[in-house]
Structure 1
Amino acid sequence: MDLTQNLPNDIKQLIDQHKNKADTDFDYLIGESGYIPSQESVLIDIIAALSQGKNVLLKGPTGSGKTKLAETLSSLFNQPLFSVNCSVDLDVESFVGFKTIDYKDGKQIIDFVPGPLVQAMKNGHFLYIDEINMAKPETLPIINGVLDYRRQITNPLTNEMIRAKEGFNVIAAINEGYIGTTRLNEALKNRFIVIDVSYLQGDELKQLIKDHTDLNDEKLIQQFVQLSSDLIEATQQGRVSEDAASIRALLDACDLSAIIPPKRAILRAIIDKLEDDREKEVVRNLAETLFE
């Protein structure tokens, strides 16, 4: 599916103007397209922001497709995407790289292995920071200078001043209110354009299932679309967690349903991932009403 065919001409021109021919060594880091926006304006606004060199923060529930959106942007701009997956154990080296012992001309030397931040900056590529609000607050200030007008960082391990090459952009993602996350520092958040990414529903979800799963039974596809809508409503009512409404898990269930009965597929892909017995029962009851 060509995402650009329905975009306004001025947005298509922005993509063409900012599309970099990727270095051969980094072709494998260019993401695959496939994200279908719930609203076309979401994609248009992100493209406009990135084309102006602005950082973009994707905010939405788990499984809503934020990582797939980042990969699709990488594909649209033909830009390699370096990634950092945040956790409470994230340290500075996870961003900038680390020192290691190597040998050159028979002599032992200390070499520096660049991390995703340094790689993206030096090559003018995209950096994707997933679940940025999972990182310890004391780790993130290192990237403040990267995210503002300076677009630079002093590597704390080598003292090298690194200035970002043209084309460098930061795309980050957060799951607000998720276990293990912290409130994002306002100074850090202000360095981003914030985009809400919601769950796909209706015709967009139906198309996603057709394009990205092995399921081709029209009746079953429509039933899974309805199941997703019911799960999202249950999430909004506080009856189940966001994990239950994950689009990623739903697609897994659709894939399995091409081979095994749908209720068993839902059990394996969605229900058994949940910890709370009450949540499991809610999903099980919803599936019982839709599938034979």
Structure 2
Amino acid sequence: MSQVAELKGADIAKQYLVAEEPYYCPVADEVETYEAAYEARMPMMLKGPTGCGKSRFVEYMAWKLGKPLITVACNEDMTASDLVGRFLLDKDGTKWQDGPLTLAARIGAICYLDEVVEARQDTTVVIHPLTDHRRELPLDKKGELVKAHADFQLVISYNPGYQSLMKDLKQSTKQRFGALDFDYPSTEIEADIVAAEAGIDKDVADKLVQIAHRARNLKGHGLDEGISTRLLVYAGQLINKGVKPDVACRVALVRPLTDDPDMRETLDAAVSTFFE
């Protein structure tokens, strides 16, 4: 890479730096483990339920390491070109535009593919050359082979609770990554997180967490997923803005979770137990 290209890449990288420290409360040794994995440039896979802090963890680690972070929200319509790039037409003809994966590889960013199983399997195979000793990305349409920057790392996440035969990673993909398991924090830590993130009293946060635990016990018994830490923060933020706690819980915790009348009644009863 030429000196001019290196300077341009450094300027682009600055745009993706995490400017302020994200709030993250470690629950075990995940921070130290990830730091070691980054030192080895090991591709990492984060596994856990919706809203348990996987994305926040990646953001926090990018800030802690001082590395740019490029996040991609994966979906079933995402193509390989959406990741690596494509030729675009403009007034001067055709011009190549890097996709987020290619850009991250060039500038030495952490590339985070969120909910990667949502993408088609024929799309996710493009990451394979970046996740072994080669650390390179072939741009077939452009006829270029991109050698990953020394600081580049690939991180993916998904929710094992939604795994199916149709939506799962191939073993050939899984076995290219180290993995960290995530789950909802312990009651005490989760209450601390909700109180800090929402700006509410600890006792109110404790009650919200207790409601969440009751809902999570219903997973597989009428609920596909329990109340996430993210939703608890939303409820706390509404309470912080002056919304009555029971109303905030209905809006942020119950209504987003289910449309089933009986299940809503059950969850509303749990809310009433703590907030009359």
TM more than 0.5 = yes
Aligned pair count?
263
Matched, 1:206 2:191: yes
Contact persistence 1:240–1:282 (CA under 8 A) = no
Distance in 1 (alpha carbons) for counterparts of 2:263 and 2:30:
31
Instruction: Select 2:215's aligned residue among 231, 238, 258.
Output: 231
Partner residue, 2:25: 36
Gaps of 5+ in 2: 1-8
Query: CA offset at residue 179 of structure 1?
Result: 7.8
Instruction: Select 1:222's aligned residue among 198, 206, 211.
Output: 206
SS at match of 1:281: helix
Query: CA offset at residue 119 of structure 1?
Result: 0.6
Gaps of 5+ in 1: 1-21
Q: Quick one: which amino acid aligns to residue 206 of structure 1? A: A
Matched, 1:59 2:47: yes
Distance in 2 (alpha carbons) for counterparts of 1:260 and 1:54:
45
Partner residue, 2:3: none
Instruction: Select 1:254's aligned residue among 222, 230, 236.
Output: 236
Distance in 1 (alpha carbons) for counterparts of 2:261 and 2:38:
43
Distance in 2 (alpha carbons) for counterparts of 1:30 and 1:37:
21
Partner residue, 1:144: 128
Distance in 2 (alpha carbons) for counterparts of 1:67 and 1:154:
28
SS at match of 1:88: coil
Distance in 1 (alpha carbons) for counterparts of 2:159 and 2:50:
6
SS at match of 2:97: strand
C-alpha distance 218-161 of structure 1, shift in aligned 2 (>3 A): closer
After superposition, give the CA deviation of every residue in 1:170-214 in whole Å (9 maximum; x if it has no partner): 111001232887121001000011110111232211221232113
Instruction: Select 2:60's aligned residue among 68, 72, 88.
Output: 72
Contact persistence 2:62–2:69 (CA under 8 A) = yes
C-alpha distance 204-52 of structure 1, shift in aligned 2 (>3 A): same
Contact persistence 1:33–1:73 (CA under 8 A) = no
Query: CA offset at residue 109 of structure 1?
Result: 2.8
Any residues of structure 2 matched to 1:1-292 within 5 Å, and which?
23-31=10-18, 32-39=21-28, 41-103=29-91, 108-178=92-162, 182-215=167-200, 217-235=201-219, 238-242=221-225, 244-258=226-240, 259-273=242-256, 274-292=258-276
> RMSD across aligned C-alpha pairs, in angstroms?
1.9
Query: CA offset at residue 151 of structure 1?
Result: 0.6
Q: Quick one: which amino acid aligns to residue 57 of structure 1? A: M
Query: CA offset at residue 286 of structure 1?
Result: 1.4
Partner residue, 2:6: none
Query: CA offset at residue 62 of structure 1?
Result: 0.6
Distance in 2 (alpha carbons) for counterparts of 1:115 and 1:187:
23
After superposition, give the CA deviation of every residue in 1:210-266 in whole Å (9 maximum; x if it has no partner): 321132x3321221122223233333x634232x41111111001111211111001
TM-score (norm 2): 0.89
Distance in 1 (alpha carbons) for counterparts of 2:40 and 2:54:
21
TM-score (norm 1): 0.84
Q: Quick one: which amino acid aligns to residue 83 of structure 2? A: F
